[in-house]
Chain A
Amino acid sequence: MIKLRRLERRYSLGKEKFFYVLRDINLDIAEGEFVSVMGPSGAGKSTLLHILGMHDHGWQGEYSLNDTAIHHLKPKERATLRNEQIGFVFQQYHLLDDLTVYENLEIPLSYRHYSKSERAALVADTLDRFQIVGKKDLYPRQLSGGQQQLVGVARAIIAEPKLLLADEPTGNLHSSQGEEIMELFRKLNDEGMTIVQVTHSDKSASYGKRVIQLRDGWIVNE
C-alpha cells in the first residue's frame, strides 16, 4: 500500500548546509498492516507521519500510495487523494472548540462533497458505532480527554479512509483511556483498515503488528 524509496526531509541551514530530519527512508507497508513508529524525540516520527499524510510537501525521494506516485502529484491532487484515502488522529485531539460533537464529525464529510443526507446518515452511524450518540450536542470542552480522542478517532474514520495515521493518539490520555483507544484501533485494523501510529509507549506499540524504530532520521530497526 505504501512504498517509500530514498525519502529525505531536510531543512536548509544556509550555504548548502542542511539539517536532515529524515534520511534515506525505504519502507513498505502492506494493506491491512498496523505499524507503530517509535523512537526518541526529534527522531523524525511525526515528520514521517505528516509526509505520509501529505501535510508536508517539502521532501525528496519517492512515495507511492496504492500504486499512485505521490511524488509526481501536484499539491491539489495530493489533497484530493488524501481526502479519499487517509484519516488522521492527533495527540491534541484538535477538535474544533466552537462546534458540537456532531458538527466536528461532519467536517471531513463536508470537505469530501457528501450530500447533506449522506452526511447525516454517516454521522448517525458513526455516533452509534462509537456509542457517543448521547454526546452529539456537547462541545469538546464538555468532554473528558478520552471522550475527545474517541471523537477524534471517529472523525478520522468517518469518511471511510483506507489508511489511518495517528500521531501519539494516547499521549494525552491516562492508561485506561489509552487502552480503550488502542482497542478501538485494533478493532479497526481487524476490520481491514491500515494503521500507522507514532507512539512512545511500548504498550500502545504492542497493539500493532510491526514496529519501526527511527533515530536521528534513519530507520534503525524493524
Chain B
Amino acid sequence: MLKDIRFSLRQLIKQPAFTIIAVLTVALAIGATTAVLSLVNGLLVRPLPYPDSQRLVLLLQHFKSQNLERIPVSPPEFKDYETRSHSFEKLGAFGYTSFNLAAEDRPERIAGATVTSGVLPLLGVSPIKGRFFAPEECMLGRDDVVIISARLWQHRFDSDPQIIGRKLLLNGKSFTVVGVMPANFDFPLQLFNLGSGGQFGGRAEIWKPLAFTDDQMKARYNRSFWIVGRLAPGISAAQAQAEIETINAQMRREHTDNYSQDNSFGGDVFLLQNLAAAGMRPALLILLGAVFLVVLIACANLTTMLLARAAAREREIAIRVALGAGRLRLLKQVFTESVLLSLIGGAAGVLLALWGVELLKTIGAQTVPRLREVNLDLVVLGVTLAICVGTGIIFGLAPGLASSRPELTEALKEGSRGSTVGKRRNRLRNGLVIAEVALALVLLSGAGLLIKSFARLQNVNPGFNPRNALTFEISLPKMQYPDDSSIVRFNDEARRRIAALPGVQAAGFSTILPLAGTNSDSSFAIEGRASDKNTPSPDEELREVSPDYFRALGTPLIKGRFFTAGDKADAPPVIIINQAFAKKFWPNEDALGKRIVMGGMSDNPKWITIVGIVGDMRHFGLDIDPKPEMYVPFAQSAYSTAIYVVRSNQDAQVLLAAIRREIQAIDPAVPLANVRSFENLIADSVAPRRLSVVLLGVFAGVAVLLAGVGIYGVMSFLVVQRTHELGVRMALGAQRGDVLKLVLIRSLKLISAGTIIGLIIAVMSTHTLRAMLYSVSAFDVVTFVLVTVLLGGIALAASFLPAMRATRADPMVVLTAE
C-alpha cells in the first residue's frame, strides 16, 4: 500500500499542472460541501444547546378568523395551561425585555428576558454560580433579583468572584444577582423571532423573575408572554397538542366573552427543534442538493481528466500487463491515486470551508438563527472524509476499469489509432461533458432565479425612504418615568433637540419599526357597523407614533393630515390609517373622518377619529405585501420604549455623537441602544434570503467553472487525439476556419445536448425554489434564456482555446510522421 502511495505521489508531482487542477477541483467541491454540511449540521441536525432538547416545546396560540398565528398568550391562559395540563414535566412563561444598566462612564442597554421560576430549570442548564429563581421570587415585591450571563459577568464585572449578592442598578432600580448562567447559555434563542425580541433583540444577558400583576392575571386579551415547556417522559408533541386542545375548549366554555365559539381560537405545540429549523430548512435542503450537483460535476471532471491520463499511460499499463500485472493490482494503483487526489483536495477543501463558514457567520450571524453555533465539528469532518473517499473511488472507477483492461495489441503497436475501446471511452467522455453542462445549467438556473428574485426584492418600494435615515431605541426606566406624561415629556424634548441639530431634516419615533421583526396589533370596532359576540372583531396592526414620524420615514401623506404637537393626551383621540386599511374597510367610501373604537364595542365607546391616510409600508418583509395598519399619537398611548428615526441630508451616522449628547443632556442615565441605519435594517431583513442567494450563486459559479474546465479538458484531449485527422483535412483543403468550425461544432453538439437535458431537469426541479422566489416565476423564460446563453458562451469559450490549437496542426508534420 505504502509503495502504491509513494508511486502515486511521484506521478502527481511529475505532472504538477494536472495535479493542481485536480486538487483545486476537489477542493472547490469538498469546500462547498463541507460548508453546507456544517450549516445543515449546525442549523438542522445538531440538537439545541439544552440537554434532552428534543422534549422542549413552545406553546403558541392562533385566532384563525383574524389571520393571527403564532401569537403569545396572556397570564391567565398561562396559568390555565400550567395548572390543568399533565403532558408537560414543566411549563414556564417568559417575555422579552431590556435593561438600562447604570455604569460610571456611560449607561448601557442590555437585552434580557423575564422568566417564571420554572423556565431556566426546565431548560436543563444549571448556573455556574449561585442558583435559579425561587418560586416566591416570581411574586410582585420580591422580584428584585436577577441572574446574569457569564458573558456579562466577565466583560462588565471583570469576573468578580463576589458577584452573587452584588447589587445592580437596572432601569434605575436595585437588583441582587443570585446566579450566573454559563457563557454559552442562550435563552430566549434568536430563532424564536417572536414578539418584541425580533431582530432588535440581542442575546439575553440578564434574566429577571416574571411576576404577574393582579390586573395582568385578569386580562385574557393581553397576550404578551410566551410559553416554553418540557414534555413529560413518554409524551409526544401530538399527545400534548391534544391535551392543549381540550384545555382550550374548556377556556372557550368558561370565558365566553373572550373567545368566539367557533374553532378560530386554538393553541399549537411546536417542538423547539423543528421551530428552530423551520425557517432555514427549505433553503438548506436546496443548498444540499446544489452541493451534491457540484460534487457530481467535480467527479465528472476528474473522471475525464483521469481518463485522458489513462489514455496517455495506455502503453505503460499495457507493458505492465504484458509483464504480468494482475487486474486487481492495476485497479488498486488507480484507486490509490484517485483517492489520494481526493484526500489532498479534500484537505484543501476543508480549509476553504473553514474560511467560508467564518465568512457566512459575518454575513448572517445577527439575522440567521443559530448561525453563530455553526462550526466544523467531528461529525462534519467525518462525513467530509467519507465523501472524499467516496468521490475518489467514483472518479477513479472509469479510469480504473479502462486501465485494467488495456487492448494489448493496439496499445503496443506503434502509431496505432482509432480502436473501438477509444471510441467507447470517447462516448463516456462526451457523456460526462454533457452531464457537467446539464448539471451546471440546473444550478445556474436556480441561482439565476434566486438572483433575479433578490434583485426584484431590493427594488421593492418599502413605503419609506431608507437612505440617510438613522434609527435607535430609547427605553425609559419605570422608576424615573413612572407615568405617560413623564415619558411623553422626555421624548418630546428629545425629539425637539434632535430635530434642531444641524443637518437633521426630520426626527420622529414609534413603538414599532417596519422590517424590524417586531409587531403589535389590536382589535377594534367601526362606528355604525353591527357586531355581535359570535363575530370576531377585526384585528389589525397598531403602532404609536410621534409627530414627524412619517416625515422622518419618508412615507407620503395620501389624504388628511399627519399628527401634530397638538395631538396630546387630553386632545380628541385621533388615528391615522394606511391605504390598505382604508381599502379594506371602506373600499367605496372616504375613510377620512370615520370613527373606530379600540378593543370591542362597549356601552360608552371612546371614539377615535381618522384624520389622515398615509402610504402603505412593508412591515413584515420586503416580500410580504403591506397589511392594514393603524397609527395613534404616542402622546395618547405612551410606551416606555421609543424607536427613533432621524432623517438627515447626509450620512445620518455622523449625527450620532450629537444625538447622544442631546439625550444625555436631558438624562445622563438613559442610553441609546440598537443604533443602526435604516439601510442596514433592510439588509438584515433579507439576510437569510441573501445567504441563500450568495451560497447558491457561489455554487453555480463553481459549477460553471468546473464545467468550463471539464469542456476545456475534453476538447483539448479530443484535439490531441484528432491531430492526425485534422492534419489530413488540412492537407485536403480545410482552412483554419474549417478546422475551427469542426472542433467548435463538435463542442457545440455536446454543449447543446447538455443544455437541453439541463433545461429539462431545471424546468422539472426549479419549482422546489418557489417558496424562495419573489415576483419571479419558477419557470421564468428570460432567466432560463440568459443562463443558457451565459453557460453556452462560457462553454464555447472553453472550447475555443483547444480549437485554436487545432488550427495550428501542421499537415506536413502529421502526414510525414509515419
Contact = CB atoms under 8 A, between A and B. Distances in A.
Interface of A: 46, 50, 53, 55-56, 76, 79, 82-83, 88, 90, 92, 94, 96-98, 107-108, 111-112, 155, 159, 167
A112 B730 CA distance: 12
Contacts of B724: 94
Nearest to A50: B812
Which 7 pairs show the lowest CB-CB distances between chains A and B?
A: A111-B733, A83-B733, A97-B418, A94-B728, A55-B812, A55-B811, A108-B732
B732 A111 contact: yes
B328 interface: no
Nearest to A161: B733
A143 B498 CA distance: 97
B725 interface: yes
Contacts of A56: 812
Contacts of A98: 418, 725
A107 B732 contact: yes
Contacts of A88: 731-732
Nearest to B810: A55
A92 B728 CA distance: 11
Given A56-B812, A79-B733, A108-B732, A92 B418 contact: no
B733 A108 contact: yes
Given A96-B725, A112-B733, 14 more contacts: A46-B816, A50-B816, A53-B731, A55-B731, A55-B810, A82-B733, A83-B733, A88-B732, A94-B724, A97-B418, A107-B734, A108-B733, A155-B732, A167-B815
15 contacts: A46-B816, A53-B731, A55-B731, A55-B815, A76-B735, A88-B731, A96-B725, A96-B728, A97-B417, A98-B725, A107-B733, A111-B729, A111-B735, A112-B733, A155-B732
A50 B730 CA distance: 13
Interface in B691-726: 724-725
Contacts of B818: 92
A112 B738 CA distance: 11
A53 B812 CA distance: 10
Nearest to A155: B732
A167 B818 CA distance: 12
A90 B733 contact: no
A108 B730 CA distance: 10
A83 B738 CA distance: 13
B595 to A, nearest CB: 85
A185 to B, nearest CB: 19
A99 B303 CA distance: 28
Given A97-B418, A107-B729, A90 B815 contact: yes
Nearest to B418: A97
Q: B interface, how many residues as a size bin? A: 10 to 19
B610 to A, nearest CB: 79
Contacts of A111: 729, 732-735, 738
Contacts of A97: 417-418, 725
Contacts of B725: 96-98
B816 to A, nearest CB: 6
A79 B731 contact: no
Interface string B408-447: 0000000001100000000000000000000000000000
Contacts of A108: 732-733
A94 B731 contact: yes
Contacts, number: 51
Interface of B: 417-418, 724-725, 728-735, 738, 810-812, 815-816, 818
Nearest to A83: B733
Nearest to B725: A96
| Residue among A50, A56, A76, A111 with most chain B CB within 10 A | A111
A107 B733 CA distance: 9
Nearest to A96: B725
Contacts of B734: 107, 111
Contacts of B731: 53, 55, 88, 90, 94
A100 B743 CA distance: 20
Contacts of A82: 733
A90 B814 CA distance: 12
Contacts of B418: 97-98
A88 B811 CA distance: 12
A165 B419 CA distance: 30
A70 to B, nearest CB: 16
Nearest to A107: B732
A79 B815 contact: no
B45 to A, nearest CB: 52
A94 B725 CA distance: 8
A79 B735 CA distance: 7
A89 B740 CA distance: 24
A167 B728 CA distance: 14
A208 to B, nearest CB: 22
A11 to B, nearest CB: 13
B724 to A, nearest CB: 8
Contacts of B728: 94, 96
| Residue among A55, A56, A82, A98 with most chain B CB within 10 A | A55
Contacts of B816: 46, 50
| Residue among B730, B811, B818 with most chain A CB within 10 A | B811
A76 B97 CA distance: 83
A103 B738 CA distance: 16
Nearest to B816: A46
A86 B215 CA distance: 108
A53 B810 CA distance: 13
A138 B809 CA distance: 28
Nearest to B818: A92
A90 B418 CA distance: 19
Nearest to B732: A108
Contacts of A96: 725, 728-729
B356 to A, nearest CB: 46
Contacts of A92: 815, 818
Contacts of A50: 812, 815-816
Contacts of B733: 79, 82-83, 107-108, 111-112, 159
B815 to A, nearest CB: 6
Nearest to B724: A94
A23 to B, nearest CB: 19
A96 B738 CA distance: 16
A111 B734 CA distance: 5
Nearest to B417: A97
A199 to B, nearest CB: 16
A79 B811 CA distance: 12
A124 B504 CA distance: 89
Contacts of A90: 731, 815
A161 B351 CA distance: 65
Contacts of B730: 55
Nearest to A95: B728
A155 B733 CA distance: 11
B60 to A, nearest CB: 69
A112 B815 CA distance: 21
| Residue among B417, B729, B733, B816 with most chain A CB within 10 A | B733
A42 B270 CA distance: 90
B723 to A, nearest CB: 13
A82 B812 CA distance: 14
A56 B812 CA distance: 7
Nearest to B817: A92
A19 B735 CA distance: 30
B105 to A, nearest CB: 81
A155 to B, nearest CB: 7
B311 to A, nearest CB: 17
A103 to B, nearest CB: 12
A90 B732 CA distance: 11
Contacts of A107: 729, 732-734
Nearest to B727: A94
Contacts of B812: 50, 55-56
B575 to A, nearest CB: 81
| Residue among B724, B732, B735 with most chain A CB within 10 A | B732
